[in-house]
C-alpha cells in the first residue's frame, strides 16, 4: 500500500474555513477520483515554532503506485488549484509518498 502524505501549514485566520472546506468538499472530491481507498486527517499538536498557523497532515491510502500516478496525472493539478483559488497564499503544502511496510 502507498500513503500519499500531505502536510499543510494553514494561517490561523483561515483555519475554520479551511477545515470546513476540507471536510465537506476537498476530501469527498479526493475520494470521488477513485484513486484512494481511504484517508485520515490529523492536526499536529505541541508544535512550538509558529503561533500564526496550524499544521495538519492528511494521509491518503492508495492500493499501489499505479493508482497514485494516475491521480497525479489525471487529478492533482485541478485539486491543488481549487485550494489556491479559495485560500491563496494563506497555506503551504508539502507532499511525500510512503510505502506501508507493516500495519498493526
* Domains by residue range for the chain, with CATH: 2-99 (3.30.70.100)
Across 5-19, 25-39, 49-63, least confident range = 49-63
**Backbone φ, ψ for residue 50 (5° rounding):** -160, 120
Can you give the pLDDT at residue 49? 65
pTM assigned to the model? 0.91
With cell 470546513, the residue in question is 20
- When pLDDT is averaged across residues 70-94 and rounded to a whole number, the result is 96
d(CA 29, CA 101): 27
Can you give the pLDDT at residue 51? 77
What are the tens digits of pLDDT across the range 37-81?
999 999 998 766 667 899 999 999 999 999 999 999 999 999 999
Amino acid at each position: 500500500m502507498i500513503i500519499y502524505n500531505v502536510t499543510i501549514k494553514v494561517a490561523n485566520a483561515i483555519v475554520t474555513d479551511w477545515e470546513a472546506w476540507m471536510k465537506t468538499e476537498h476530501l469527498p472530491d479526493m475520494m470521488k477520483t477513485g484513486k484512494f481507498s481511504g484517508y485520515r486527517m490529523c492536526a499536529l499538536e505541541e508544535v512550538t515554532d509558529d503561533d500564526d498557523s496550524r499544521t495538519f497532515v492528511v494521509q491518503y491510502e492508495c492500493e499501489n503506485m499505479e493508482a497514485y500516478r494516475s491521480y497525479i496525472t489525471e487529478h492533482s493539478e485541478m485539486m491543488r488549484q481549487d485550494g489556491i483559488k479559495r485560500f491563496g497564499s494563506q497555506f503551504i503544502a508539502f507532499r511525500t509518498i510512503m510505502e506501508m511496510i507493516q500495519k498493526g
